[in-house]
Amino acid sequence: MGLVDGKVAMVTGAAAGIGRATALKFAGEGARVVVSDIDIEGGEETARMIADAGGQALFVACDTSDADQIDALVAKTVDTYGQLDCACNNAGIEGKIMPLVDQTMDNYDRIMAVNARGTFLCMKAEIAQMLKTGGGAIVNLASVAGLIGFPGLSPYVASKHAVNGMTKNAALEYGKAGIRINSVCPGGIDTRMLDSLAEQATQGAQDSHEMLDPLHPIGRIGVPDEVAGAIVWLSSPAASFVTGINMPVDGGFVAQ
């Protein structure tokens, strides 16, 4: 019996990386999964991977910075599967690396629209639905950049601190309604986003492993499935007394 047997889970940003790994993990632990992303090809591939492994999945295209699209995503989830038990708000972008004075408002606004506004809008729609059915579990994707600073990434750091703050606040507001809300804070994880950051930071001189493996006390960066495991556990009855936390999944990075 899986950790989330019989549950319905929704994952945004599920076309690749941590989102895809999380959707696959939910399905492997017994959930029916709604896969969402603006990347239609990648999202449909994730849904096919779940189906090919014997699970149930539906792909719904969604831009998480658009409230109407998020409302439609939640409505489609409920129309298809009858409920929404678990939600992972994973969609996010990293933007450009540069000192604060050189950051453009376009870069700042785009990052905040997806990472902070998008998480806020997703929680707003998800919680409204979960209140109708007596509870649920939400996990937001933050970052170690939501716990500490990273020079050159002011908008990204601001957006992920916002995610962690909203997580704690929403957990306080809806705990008695049976809705648990947590965040995970990945360190360096082997994804396209990390490759992009490493490319920017070193002008292509180093890949993400060369740059970041030595900075993690465990001796390496992580893989998406390691973050997915934490997300699904937080979403499951096994974590029934856990809410309002910002959990590092970082190989010891913020312990330094």
Structural domains in the chain, CATH included, are 8-187+225-249 (3.40.50.720), 189-221 (no CATH)
Supply the pLDDT for residue 155: 97
Q: What percent of the chain lies above the pLDDT cut of 70?
A: 99
Q: What is the pLDDT of residues 48-103, one digit of tens each?
A: 999 999 999 999 999 999 999 999 999 999 999 999 999 999 999 888 899 999 99
Using CA atoms, how far apart are residues 90 and 227, in angstroms rounded to an integer?
Answer: 11
What order do you get walking across the sheet with 86-89 strand by strand?
A: 57-61, 32-37, 8-11, 86-89, 136-141, 179-186, 246-249
* Nearest residue to 90 via CA among 177, 2, 186, 4: 186
* Nearest residue to 93 via CA among 6, 163, 172, 41: 163
Q: Which of 16-20, 106-110, 209-213, 233-237 has the lowest mean pLDDT?
A: 209-213
Q: What is the mean pLDDT of residues 170-199?
A: 90
User: What are the catalytic residues?
Assistant: 156
Which one has a higher pLDDT value, 208 or 226? 226
Write out the DSSP string of 158-219.
HHHHHHHHHHHHHHHHHGGGTEEEEEEEE-SBSSHHHHHHHHHHHTTSS-HHHHHGGGSTTS
CB 118 within 8 Å of CB 139: no
